[in-house]
Chain A
Amino acid sequence: MVPLSYYLLLSGFLFACGVVGFLIKRNIITIFMSIELMLNGVNLSFVAFAAHWHALAGQVFVFFVMVVAAAEAAVGLAIIIAVYRTRETLNVDQVNLLKL
């Protein structure tokens, strides 16, 4: 059996990758994907703990997170498309004003 710490280390690594990507990437799609990566890193730790403690709450939480992430992806992608249509760029440094 794979020990819990392996899962947690992987989870932390995924989360750190998400954070770094979020901080250094300029493309809005990549930033969006970094956020998903962070969420999934957390999801991994949830299920790992759930399996370890034989508690279902962690697994239920993961479903909730996935639902929220899906909703967020739908809204976020819609916004990205809207932004691209008006600005014709996906570089966040050029999208720092709310008005046109």
Chain B
Amino acid sequence: MNPMLNLWLIPILPLAGAAINGTLGKKSSRQAVTTIALFFSGAAFAMALWVAMRFSSLSLPYTEFFAHWIRSGSFTADFAFYLDQLSLVMLLVVTGVGFLIHIYSVGYMWDDPSYYRFFSYLNLFMFFMLTLILAGNYLLMFIGWEGVGLASYLLIGFWFTKDSAASAGKKAFIVNRIGDFGFLIALFLLIQHFGTLNFGQVFSAVSPLPAETASAGLLTAIGILLMVGACGKSAQIPLYIWLPDAMEGPTPVSALIHAATMVTAGVYMVSRSHVIFQRAPMALTVVAIIGTLTAFFAATIGITQTDIKKVLAYSTVSQLGYMFMACGVGAFSAGIFHLMTHAFFKGLLFLAAGSVIHAVGGEQDMRKMGGLRSYIPWTFLTMGIATLAIAGVPPLAGFWSKDEILWKAYQASPVYWAVGVITAFITSFYMFRLLYMTFFGDYRGGQKDAHGHASHGHDAHKHDAQGGHGHGEPHESPMVMLVPLMILAVLSLVGGLVGIGNRFEHFLAPVFDSGLIAGSSEALEGASHATELLLMGISVLAAFSGWFLAYFLYNQRPELPPKIANGLNGLYETVVHKYYVDEIYAAVFVKPLIEGSTRILWQGVDRNVIDAAVNEAGDGAKHISDEVRHMQSGNIRSYAGWVAAGSAAVIGFMVWAWTVGR
């Protein structure tokens, strides 16, 4: 029998923080808001650590019933929680990275007039994300899933007075709805065929079913629909378009929600549903192909971006593609491993980028940076570590997890592996390009007073609020921002070491071991150790050659990139415009929808049918009344006349009825 862990407290704590700050924050001082926000997110982290410490004494999966929610016939969905190795990893990552980003935000958002609102939203996000992770059934997970979407919308549009931020928020929300549609249909299918959404019951109902290798069946359908949901939340082709726009939000939000935690919810959901996916090889293939394509295409777009946050955004999309590639080849633990290391180094990259943006007064265009190494040494150091980590330089975190994925992908199909390695090369290239453009060479920002605050700085809002805070020279961020950077840098350095000797995989093995695709890694381990080392060498080579190419093009010969770009003008233009995907979507989906709504639904149905019917009813009543009101003259004898006429009519009718009735 398991001890009572009171898991429900973990999500409730940040909710309390959100409620307190949301209702009382406006009147409170910044110190009070800070205390509340940090206390509740920190308490959630502490509780997660406490759970982790008692973890070994639990019999897994640990389930906890908190309260009744829906009981309808034999169908039940309760406020119940589910803890196993997978949720524990997610729990620690979300609360840990989340807490660090809360601390960082104190420094970053200090001058914002809506300081309390920011922290209220951030805590609200933590609540929903933890609900998503700890949920004991798909429906509660869906609540968290929608809730993080809401928090994401609120935080992308945090500076809602700016038109681009407001529309980016809407875009994220609407694109996510498309994915959620798939998720919901998958849930309906589960209810219809298994009559339950509780993880334990669904998994034990699915387990005896054979794998649908020959033809696509129910599980394939559920798997693909779940993947549609994951595509929306985790920004995969074809629904990735919202994530780059989401960079309109404050940088800590990009770090927490759009890099480290929320966008990985899709990977978590697919891994959680591994029992279904493992029995639907076609759905897994779909996952792998989507992941591989996304990884590659997003990386190529990343090369051409000049906005520091956009580069990181496409990089996030690309890295999420890696995770789905891992899931798609059945290596769920490798995907989760990459999810964890990615949370460390991508969170760090975004926070460091925020620190850079802070240093140069809201500028985000890398062409106006350069030479910042000497101004902001700590930011440079931490960002350098993160760049090495994401590029896959051993022995940093990214190397271990990416290599694990590539190795598993190779076992499934060398094609995935080849695309993965090319992507790794591109990743290394664009990340070092970012590093060289930002920190090396000469400072190109100049001393101009304008600083492009209004036009370029996405975070300009904040700096406007400072009111004439002179940004003569780039300056280092305060300690409250640097300490989270350093902690994350340490995690990026050593976070991958838990993967040595497949320890991480063995830790997660009880979750993913379904006895269906068992032992593949164990069997191949000894036989192809040489192959693994060779592949590892190739991916390290890819990382270093990307580094070298970036060094050569952006440090040694900075005049070359524009020439190369001109040399392949057609291709370059296409990539700069992100393959015109936004334009294609606008032409294929958005414009017909708007036109159809305007012409047919608004001007046709609404105006000419519904409005017309209502107006005609009103006008008709008015016209008839206009005629009939003459009856009401005020002359008593005319009333008497009407009474007489009415009686005569009734009598006439009765006589007529009597005669006809005969």
Contact = CB atoms under 8 A, between A and B. Distances in A.
A75 interface: no
B641 interface: yes
Contacts, number: 8
Interface in A14-65: 19, 22-23
Contacts of B644: 19, 23
Contacts of B641: 23
Interface in B631-650: 637, 640-641, 644
Contacts of B640: 22-23
Contacts of A92: 637
A22 B644 CA distance: 11
Contacts of A23: 637, 640-641, 644
Determine which residue in A22, A23, A92 has the highest number of CB atoms from chain B within 10 A of its CB, and name it: A23
A19 B637 CA distance: 11
A72 B644 CA distance: 22
Contacts of A19: 644
A92 B644 CA distance: 19
A70 B492 CA distance: 114
Q: B interface, how many residues as a size bin?
A: under 10
B662 to A, nearest CB: 16
A62 B644 CA distance: 23
Nearest to B638: A23
Contacts of B637: 22-23, 92
Q: Which of B637, B641, B644 has the most CB of A within 10 A?
A: B637
Q: How large is the interface on A (under 10, 10 to 19, 20 to 34, 35 or more residues)?
A: under 10
Interface in B609-652: 637, 640-641, 644
Nearest to B637: A23
A80 to B, nearest CB: 17
Nearest to A31: B637
Nearest to B647: A19
A56 to B, nearest CB: 27
A92 B638 CA distance: 13
A4 B48 CA distance: 103
Nearest to B634: A96
Nearest to B643: A19
A92 B635 CA distance: 11
Contacts of A22: 637, 640
Interface string B1-16: 0000000000000000
A92 B640 CA distance: 14
A23 B636 CA distance: 9
A23 B641 CA distance: 6
A82 to B, nearest CB: 19
B654 to A, nearest CB: 13
A82 B297 CA distance: 105
A22 B641 CA distance: 9
Nearest to A92: B637
A82 B540 CA distance: 122
Nearest to B644: A19
A73 B301 CA distance: 105
A23 B644 CA distance: 9
A56 B641 CA distance: 34
B643 to A, nearest CB: 9
A63 B232 CA distance: 92
A19 B640 CA distance: 9
B603 to A, nearest CB: 55
A23 B647 CA distance: 14
A92 B637 CA distance: 10
A23 B639 CA distance: 9
A22 B638 CA distance: 11
A79 B637 CA distance: 19
A19 B646 CA distance: 13
A39 to B, nearest CB: 15
B394 to A, nearest CB: 109
A22 B640 CA distance: 9
A23 B645 CA distance: 11
Nearest to A25: B637
B637 to A, nearest CB: 6
A95 to B, nearest CB: 11
A27 to B, nearest CB: 13
A92 B641 CA distance: 16
B375 to A, nearest CB: 97
A39 B154 CA distance: 81
Interface string A84-100: 00000000100000000
B635 to A, nearest CB: 8
B115 to A, nearest CB: 73
Interface string B182-220: 000000000000000000000000000000000000000
A55 to B, nearest CB: 23
A70 B640 CA distance: 23
A8 to B, nearest CB: 12
A68 B222 CA distance: 88
A32 B561 CA distance: 113
A23 to B, nearest CB: 5
Nearest to A19: B644
A92 B636 CA distance: 10
A6 B640 CA distance: 27
Interface in B6-59: none
A64 B644 CA distance: 25
8 contacts: A19-B644, A22-B637, A22-B640, A23-B637, A23-B640, A23-B641, A23-B644, A92-B637
Interface of A: 19, 22-23, 92
Given A23-B637, A23-B641, 6 more contacts: A19-B644, A22-B637, A22-B640, A23-B640, A23-B644, A92-B637
The 6 closest A-B pairs by CB, nearest first: A19-B644, A23-B641, A23-B637, A23-B640, A22-B640, A23-B644
